[in-house]
Amino acid sequence: MLRAFGITILILLTAVVGAFAAEGPIAQFTYSPGDGPYAVLFDASGSTDPDGEITSYQWTFGDGTTGSGEKVAHTYPAAGSFSVTLVVFDTAHATATATETVTIAADGTVSAPSVPEFARAAVPVGLNVGNAAPEFSLTDAAGKVHSLSDYLGKVVILEFWRVGCPHCRATMPHLKELYERYKDDGLVVVLVTPDWNMAATQSYLDQNGYSDFINLWDDPRKGDDQVTAKYKVWTVPHTLLIDRHGVIRYTGYPNKLLDSNIVPWL
């Protein structure tokens, strides 16, 4: 009886562990012209692992040769179109693959660099670090609809705030500094504003040098359907950092968001 009970517990534990099994890595790469004819630089630094670390980058260049490394240079023997494949491995020995076609003209020039399509990571949706941030759609002051998924491929500072909150206003310069430092690397600041007077809120941002922030109105009349409520933000200001694949990498007070939190995901 006890042995059977133990086996049952073991089976249940195995099922629970399986339900929370580690997610695999995500392979992404870009390419650009290298130094000289037929030369290409490959960059896989956009690859990520939502719950671990990538340990190996393996390349097949499409001309019968291979290579390894996060960033590699390769020179092709002649013009043509080549199917390049990247395989990444993580600490759990899981793999992911990405493939791009590189075209080289007869004069040795490389086709325009590829622009990767960033997919939402296949991790559970939630509000903790490592979760995929819940999707939402809100309008800006001009009535244009913005969805969180519009910013896949960007690193997003998602800030919940109110213009009437002194602590919120006090943290804006810090967010501005971060934005100016990393905007050219793909950082954007998205504000979720549950204020009644959206025009006054936008006016404050424009007059104080924050017009580059994307300010979205979270209509207070929606009650529990507000994005603020769905994100369980009970006090403002509150900040999340979301990576290029929609995964939360930081949640907390905005002034405690540091360069070290942002740089790994750029």
Q: Give tens-digit pLDDT for 83-108.
A: 999 999 988 888 888 888 899 998 98
Domains of the chain: 30-104 (2.60.40.10), 137-265 (3.40.30.10)
C-beta separation of 84 from 60 below 8 A: yes
Residue 172, class by beta-carbon neighbours within 10 Å (0-12 exposed, 13-18 middle, 19+ buried)? Answer: buried
Which pLDDT value is given to residue 258?
95
- Predicted local confidence at residue 183, as pLDDT: 95
* DSSP-based three-state secondary structure for 237: coil
Burial of 131 (0-12, 13-18, 19+ CB in 10 A): middle
Say whether pLDDT at 13 is over 50.
no
pLDDT in tens, 209-236: 999 999 999 999 888 899 999 999 999 9
- Cα maximum dimension of the chain: 78
What the block records as the tokens of 177 is 């500094």
Question: Which residue pairs from 74-78 have beta carbons closer than 8 angstroms and sit at least 24 positions apart in sequence?
Answer: 74/34, 74/39, 74/40, 74/42, 75/34, 75/36, 75/38, 75/39, 75/40, 76/38, 76/39, 76/40, 76/104, 77/38, 78/38, 78/104
pLDDT tens digits, one per residue of 20-52: 445 678 888 888 898 889 999 999 887 877 667
